Amino acid sequence: MGLRHLARRGTSPATRTLAGLPGGIVTRRRGRGSEPDDVRLWSEGDDRRHIDRNATARTGILHVRTHHDERDRAVVLLVDFRPSMLFGTRRALRSVAAAEALVLLGWRVAGDGGRVGLVAVGAGEPVVVRPAGGERAMTAVTGALAMAHAQALADASTKDPPLSRALTLAQSLLPSGGHLVLGTALDDPGEDFDALLTIMAERLSIRLVLVSDAFERTRPPGFYPFATPDGRRGTVQASRADRGAPGADARLVAYAQRGIEGLRLDVEAGPEAYAPLMERLDAVL
């Protein structure tokens, strides 16, 4: 909640379009959009002009097609709180950095009149907030993030579940053309993650915030103490010959080649440094 002031920097009525229309007065847009949203059973009071002939002929029961406004901007923030994200050597855990960055983005989207939702995935059941607009929606998102992170810290599991289920859940919350933003380090995302993400990118605008800890990028030789959530402690030795996983920048290039743009988020930088990054990300959503 305290990051609202950072999200509001650099925005003013002169640089923002409050209603998605010319002028400085926020008004309710009239009429229906032309983008199809869903097909459902007809109910009393529905406009007969919106009866879906194909579904009605196929089932023998009246169905109507609903539409959403093309200007409607719905964004779902998918935050990774799996066990591997509960790690950090500078300033904060990777999970905390991911939450900070996506909350900054959420405040910007809500401030511009968009709708914000959340899928927070840990070792247990995901925490979900359906997309909604305004400060009340962001209050729900921040509260759900705090609850999900507390649950992740209390969970004794050390194995990362695949991210594919969370992706499918996030997709179900968004209309065609919606926006999905992932905050994760992509440790062990699952065998079908890349294939599913590529398919989803044909329907949704997907952006990746790849969280990177300083120890992953530069690992000086030496002895490093560690502690795990289950209370186990020890020391590991790193040498100059040790090589980690492919760097965050190389992974971002690989995803960009499939049409999924992203940016690297350095945990040690902190929210002050994240704000300009989220401002640029917001500009392309």
How does pLDDT run across 261-273, given as a tens digit for each residue?
999 999 999 999 9
| End-to-end Cα, the chain, rounded Å | 22
Q: How many residues are given for the chain?
A: 285
pLDDT digits (tens, 9 = 90+) for 230-254: 778 988 777 765 555 556 788 899 9
Indicate whether 16 belongs to any domain: no
Same-domain pairing of 198 and 132: yes
Indicate whether 113 belongs to any domain: yes
pTM of the predicted structure, to 2 decimals = 0.75
Model pLDDT, residue 23 = 47
By residue range, what is the domain housing residue 60? Answer: 39-68
Model pLDDT, residue 219 = 74
Q: Which amino acid is at 8?
A: R
Same-domain pairing of 250 and 188: yes
Indicate whether 1 belongs to any domain: no
- Rounded to a whole number of angstroms, the CA Rg of the chain reads 21
Same-domain pairing of 98 and 184: yes
Same-domain pairing of 82 and 112: yes
Indicate whether 199 belongs to any domain: yes
Model pLDDT, residue 28 = 43
**End position of a domain, from candidates 52, 68, 84:** 68
Give backbone dihedrals phi and psi of 116, rounded to 5 degrees, phi first.
-125, 135
Model pLDDT, residue 27 = 45
- Which residue ranges in the chain fall short of pLDDT 50? 10-32
> Distance between CA 190 and CA 185 in Å, rounded?
13
Indicate whether 31 belongs to any domain: no
The number of folded domains in the chain is 2
Same-domain pairing of 57 and 76: no
Model pLDDT, residue 46 = 79
The H-assigned helical ranges of the chain are 4-7, 53-59, 94-111, 134-154, 164-172, 193-200, 214-217, 248-256, 271-283
**Are 249 and 266 spatial neighbours (Cβ–Cβ below 8 Å)?**
no
Same-domain pairing of 55 and 127: no
Same-domain pairing of 143 and 62: no
pLDDT digits (tens, 9 = 90+) for 30-75: 444 555 667 888 877 777 888 889 989 999 999 888 765 555 689 9
**End position of a domain, from candidates 53, 68, 83:** 68
Q: What are the CA-CA distances from residue 175 to residues 30, 218, 252, 259 (Å)?
A: 20, 41, 26, 19
